[in-house]
Structure 1
Amino acid sequence: MAARVLERIDGAAMLAQVEQWAAINSGTGNMAGLAAMAAELVDAFAILPGTVRLVEPAPVERMGADGRVTAVEHGRHLVVSVRPEATTRLLLFGHMDTVYPVDHPFQALTWADERTLVGPGVTDMKGGLAVMLAALGALESERALDGIGYDVLVNSDEETGSLSSAALIVELAAGKTAAFGYEPALPDGTLAGARGGTGNFSVAVHGRSAHAGRNPEEGRNALVAAADFAVSLARDAVAECPVNPARIDGGSPNNVVPDLAVLRVNFRPRNPAAIDAASRLIDATVASVLDRHDVRIDLHGQFNRPPKPIDARAARLFALVAEAGRELGLSVAHRDTGGVCDGNNVAALGVPVVDTMGVRGGAIHSPQEYLLVDSLVERAALSATAILKLAEGRMP
């Protein structure tokens, strides 16, 4: 059966699909583009023998440069459910959004050479979505999955932290035997293993305006307090949770003491204990800056991606994928990475996950993003073979 399944994978059709999808700008904030991409995916995933639906995003708020917290619009999320009554069920997940907004100059597809397609989202992850669908379509065509069920999630906000799809991830991951995500592998095919976590925070510092020459002592400089907050975090960060104070929005004319500044900070916890340590650091820094500068501080944000270690069940799933690779003549290794994705959230629910089953490529999140086209069939075959093993009872 495996040979028949692999024969069903059509590389030319996959490439055409990637080119069609990558021509749609679906940056996370582009509602029209996300709607167009979702419509394409609804049609494409309709080949599977299940229900296809679009789920409304959960409410999300963000702090602006003015210190106010307002609602943020997101696109709908695609969910496909196949054989929900099955005892053994898998989760396959990906995302339709890219990091390229509608006004970004990187919009067109070009060929660097005969095997390298350059374009926005070709690797992260419209190529990955094509791999997922091709593998499932080939397996279903041969009725190779009749004994198991699965859910597919393609969310619209992974690139900004999956805040509007977090509850949906929890719902769909519950009770799953294993999960595959379709983030890109490295150019040589290496998979991401253990991952750190991440948290993003905005710190609004409210000071008091005053004339910089006549009565500066009556002012409370929000910019200085925000800078002190950033320096304190960087100085006192624990080793297991690197901190990146990334930006300060605010300021005033040179002759005015600034009364508002908003600091943006990213944390990268390497284990759960580091999240607790970082939370204590934030609280201590708030207290010390309030004491030194007599300002008001509003904090907004959260640790939205927990660290993802490789436990025993995840290790067995990686071994199963490596075995599938060997059967195809591929050497499939994995290594730890500092990057994060929805695989962090799935693993936190106790589900073994390999989250880089997508295409080989590189330079993602840049105007040089490229896809190695021969990896479309290769990675679809890897997914199909690994899923077939799971369907045959080779569970982690």
Structure 2
Amino acid sequence: MIRTLLALSFSAMLSQTVQADLSDAEMQMAAHIDQTQEQAVKLLEELVNINSGTMNFAGVRKVADRLAPEFEALGFNVRFEDGSAFNRAGHLVAELNGGAGAKIMLIGHLDTVFEPDSPFQKFEMVDENIARGPGISDMKGGNVIMLQALRALKAAGELDKMNIRVVITGDEELSGRPLDLSKKALLDAAKWADIAIGFEDGDGNPATANISRRGSVDWTLRIKGNPAHSSQVFSEDVGAGAIYEASRILNSFYTELRSESLLTFNPGRILGGTAVEHNPADNSGSAFGKNNVVAEHALVTGDIRAVSPQQLERVKDKMRFIVGQHLPQTQAVIEIGEGYPPMAPTEGNKKLLSLLSQVSQDLDQGQVTPVNPLNAGAADVSFAAAHVDMAIDGLGLKGTGGHTVEEKGHLDALPAQAKRAALLMHRLTQR
């Protein structure tokens, strides 16, 4: 079965033709990755079969314990940073300090969205090239690709010369709080690094990678009006009531912010009436009100996804201004919380994409172009991007159906992505 699933089917992506543009070391790396594909798939199957839903702390730690010796065998100093301070399992960190060259940060995550009560728990083959399983593409496949690239560098005698810090987080799918603690390992590594490379699956297209990701922050809107009999609504003493004020604000968001390129803002939950109870921990709430009573309270929660820190700040200012233009006899405040920062498409990121694209073409895998930020959710690389000269994401296992029970990974893309990552790191170090 393993030999069958190694059959190649992605034409250009999976060509093993050795190009004249590859150095002897790079040809050795590519050959090593092809030769060890069977071992890589076995490790992937093992990892997928360990439930590591974010809140299954024991399972997340079990994945970390399985990966740790793989990094130790490559010469890394490995530790597990406990996450009890931010109510999560913790993070796997591996460090290699081998020279004076570029400092490269590699980013993965241990957790998935599938908790132990999910019906989706096991790795299974769909056909000779595709497998289904929880977290196979998001992102246990990316962790294996990272390891394969590092093993190839080791086999070619190049790894020991490099400076690499690996951070594989345990809470990417559901971040612990406060963020300054849960993302500290990422931020510390980013402040040390020159370059950040993420091994998420991107948009599932092998011809693309992420040089920009929109951030995600939550907001909560609280509105208060004067309660009274409905016959007195709009009167000077009663005014418009809380629900009309909520409607005004949301409509103004819609009409005044939609011109912002690559921005989305979504109200996901609304409650209104005489009394409102909100349970943010489980994203629920209740409201009581009568048709003949002017609503005293309203509450709306939502998110903002912006493409750059500048856009986010501009939009936050606009939202606060809109909220402040109250209807008669109403009050409203908006609280904008912490979340994932945007990863802007900087010149450094574009340069790194160009280098990756050249690697891909030298491997006869074709050009790599940027993912449209509208198709890219928030990810851990976003916390690192602002602190490094170059950042890129999407070097993981390509697949479909992420976050659903139909999540699949293209196993024949694993060696192709590992070759790209290995050669990219090698050339960055040579530079």
The TM-score by the shorter chain falls in which range?
A: 0.7 to 0.9
Unaligned runs of 5+ in 2: 1-24, 271-283
Find out whether 1:32 has 2:58 as its counterpart. Answer: yes
TM-superposed CA distance for 1:127, in Å, is: 0.2
CA gap 1:181/1:348 in 2 versus in 1, 3 angstroms: same
Q: SS at the partner of 2:46?
A: helix
1:193-272 to structure 2, matched below 5 A, reads 193-203=210-220, 205=222, 207=224, 226-240=246-260, 241-248=263-270, 249-253=284-288, 255=290, 262-272=299-309
CA gap 1:356/1:77 in 2 versus in 1, 3 angstroms: same
Q: Determine the structure 2 residue equivalent to 1:3.
A: 27
1:272-305 deviation digits (Å, cap 9, x = unpaired): 432222111232243235x556456462513532
Q: Determine the structure 2 residue equivalent to 1:281.
A: 318
136, 139, 154: which is aligned to 1:140?
154
Q: Determine the structure 2 residue equivalent to 1:331.
A: 366
TM-score by length of 1: 0.83
Q: Which protein is bigger by CA-based radius of gyration?
A: 2
Find out whether 1:114 has 2:128 as its counterpart. Answer: yes
Q: Determine the structure 2 residue equivalent to 1:69.
A: none
Find out whether 1:344 has 2:382 as its counterpart. Answer: yes
TM-superposed CA distance for 1:93, in Å, is: 0.8
CA distance in 2: counterparts of 1:127 and 1:151, whole angstroms: 19
CA gap 1:23/1:215 in 2 versus in 1, 3 angstroms: farther
Find out whether 1:92 has 2:106 as its counterpart. Answer: yes
**Any conservation in 1 of the 2:96–2:165 contact (CA below 8 Å)?**
yes
Identity of aligned residues (%): 25
**Any conservation in 2 of the 1:207–1:219 contact (CA below 8 Å)?**
no
**Any conservation in 2 of the 1:58–1:165 contact (CA below 8 Å)?**
no
1:66-89 deviation digits (Å, cap 9, x = unpaired): xxxxxxx22201110111764532
Unaligned runs of 5+ in 1: 61-72
**Any conservation in 2 of the 1:238–1:277 contact (CA below 8 Å)?**
no
CA distance in 1: counterparts of 2:306 and 2:27, whole angstroms: 43
CA distance in 2: counterparts of 1:304 and 1:341, whole angstroms: 7
CA gap 1:305/1:145 in 2 versus in 1, 3 angstroms: same
TM-superposed CA distance for 1:183, in Å, is: 0.9
CA distance in 2: counterparts of 1:352 and 1:305, whole angstroms: 16
Amino acid at match of 1:326: Q
Find out whether 1:56 has 2:94 as its counterpart. Answer: no
TM-superposed CA distance for 1:342, in Å, is: 2.6
Q: Determine the structure 2 residue equivalent to 1:174.
A: 191
64, 67, 79: which is aligned to 1:41?
67
CA gap 1:322/1:85 in 2 versus in 1, 3 angstroms: closer
Return 102-111 or 295-304, whichever deviates more.
295-304
Q: SS at the partner of 2:107?
A: strand
**Any conservation in 2 of the 1:185–1:361 contact (CA below 8 Å)?**
no
TM-score by length of 2: 0.77
Return 133-142 or 219-228, whichever deviates more.
219-228
1:202-230 deviation digits (Å, cap 9, x = unpaired): 41536589798999999997666555543
Find out whether 1:390 has 2:428 as its counterpart. Answer: yes
TM-superposed CA distance for 1:149, in Å, is: 1.1
CA distance in 1: counterparts of 2:121 and 2:161, whole angstroms: 42
**Any conservation in 2 of the 1:247–1:265 contact (CA below 8 Å)?**
yes
CA distance in 2: counterparts of 1:88 and 1:213, whole angstroms: 68
Q: SS at the partner of 1:136?
A: helix
Return 371-380 or 37-46, whichever deviates more.
37-46
CA distance in 1: counterparts of 2:214 and 2:59, whole angstroms: 29
CA gap 1:227/1:55 in 2 versus in 1, 3 angstroms: farther
Q: SS at the partner of 2:417?
A: helix
Q: SS at the partner of 2:388?
A: coil
CA distance in 1: counterparts of 2:54 and 2:322, whole angstroms: 32
**Any conservation in 2 of the 1:204–1:262 contact (CA below 8 Å)?**
yes
**Any conservation in 1 of the 2:172–2:380 contact (CA below 8 Å)?**
yes
**Any conservation in 1 of the 2:243–2:298 contact (CA below 8 Å)?**
yes
